[in-house]
Amino acid sequence: MLKKRVIPILLIKNNDLVKSVKYKNHKYVGDPLNVIKIFNEKEIDELIVLDIEKSKNNDELNYELIKKFASECYMPLTYGGGIKNLKQAEKLFSLGVEKILINSANFSNYQLMKNISEKFGSQSIIAAADINKNLFNKFYLFDWVNRKKIQLDINIHIENCIKNGAGEVLINFVFNEGTLSGFDTNWLDFINCKISVPLIINGGINSMKNIEQCLECKRIDAIGVGAFFVYYGPHKAVLISYTSNKGK
């Protein structure tokens, strides 16, 4: 069984490190390679890098940049963004990427994830699901690329991802992403308690205490953190940090 983990999530746009709020208003915050070097020194558990432009623009992956990420990382690296076929996955693994994250591609076809899993194993795949909520605080699947609601039950989607090879599931709470307003573990009540793979949550972590609360939740296996590790103070100065109180 995997230990509880705290995982920085870096967003890349036009090869730069950016940070968003509720998946909007992406702000430049620095050079991703420099940030990876800082995280190396802080001995983080693992790292997720998401290129937010590749899926949206249907661009080819920037293999040269990803190679630099993988070469620089001392920790396991997960890459996501614009992965459309098995050939791309093979290339990523050959560059040193340990896991691949699949999100929007699953809405049209789970076959890609199944193909990757059959060749490289389920431990190599994280299925991500973006969750938003309406005015009545009802959660729904959100397609961030087209910014629309997906007419599919959340738990059915998660189950389909697991059946087709996902070794872990990352739930992104869009309405809270980048807000630094805190993560509420009660939001997980809508997720089937019998989920059979490790669950990663992401969205709004704002303090060490909040991280500790999430780590104490039996349903959470790992915590994705963005803004809390990137910003500091009320004016959101850029200061890369990481918890020294790792999950056990």
Looking at residue 239, its pLDDT comes to 54
pLDDT band at residue 43 under the 50/70/90 scheme: confident
Q: Spell out the domain ranges in the chain.
A: 5-238
CATH T-level assignment (fold) for domain 5-238: TIM Barrel (3.20.20)
Please give the DSSP secondary-structure letter assigned to residue 206.
-
Task: Check pLDDT > 70 for residue 244.
Answer: no
Helices 63-72 and 86-95 pack at an angle, to 10 degrees, of 40
The position carrying tokens 């076809």 is 109
Looking at residue 235, its pLDDT comes to 43
Looking at residue 147, its pLDDT comes to 85
Q: What is the CA radius of gyration of the chain?
A: 17
DSSP bridge pairs for 147:
none
Q: Could you tell me if 16 and 26 are in contact, meaning their C-beta atoms sit under 8 angstroms apart?
A: no
Task: Check pLDDT > 60 for residue 248.
Answer: no
pLDDT band at residue 125 under the 50/70/90 scheme: very high
Looking at residue 240, its pLDDT comes to 64
Instruction: State the CB neighbour count (10 A cutoff) for residue 138.
Output: 9
Task: Check pLDDT > 70 for residue 234.
Answer: no
Task: Check pLDDT > 50 for residue 247.
Answer: no
pLDDT band at residue 237 under the 50/70/90 scheme: very low
Q: What are phi and psi of 173, to 5 degrees?
A: -95, 95
Burial of 239 by CB count in 10 Å (0-12 exposed, 13-18 middle, 19+ buried)? exposed
Task: Check pLDDT > 90 for residue 177.
Answer: yes
Contacting residues for 46 by C-beta, under 8 A, at least 6 apart: 5, 7, 75, 76, 77, 78, 98
**Averaged pLDDT, 14-43:** 89
Asked about 51 being catalytic, the answer comes back as: no
Q: Pseudo-torsion of CA 146, 13, 22, 50, nearest 10°? A: 90
Q: For a pLDDT cut of 70, what percent of the chain falls above it? A: 92
Is this structure's pTM higher than 0.95? no
Task: Check pLDDT > 60 for residue 154.
Answer: yes
H-only helix segments in the chain? 32-41, 52-57, 63-72, 86-95, 105-108, 111-120, 154-163, 208-216, 227-230
Looking at residue 108, its pLDDT comes to 81
Looking at residue 77, its pLDDT comes to 97
Catalytic residue among 16, 51, 59, 130: 130
**Averaged pLDDT, 85-97:** 97
Instruction: State the CB neighbour count (10 A cutoff) for residue 216.
Output: 11
Task: Check pLDDT > 90 for residue 57.
Answer: no
Q: Could you tell me if 123 and 104 are in contact, meaning their C-beta atoms sit under 8 angstroms apart?
A: no
Q: Secondary structure of the chain: what % helix, strand, coil (to 5)?
A: 35, 30, 40
The position carrying tokens 């349903």 is 219
- Tens digits of per-residue pLDDT, 195-231? 899 999 999 999 999 999 999 999 999 999 988 887 6
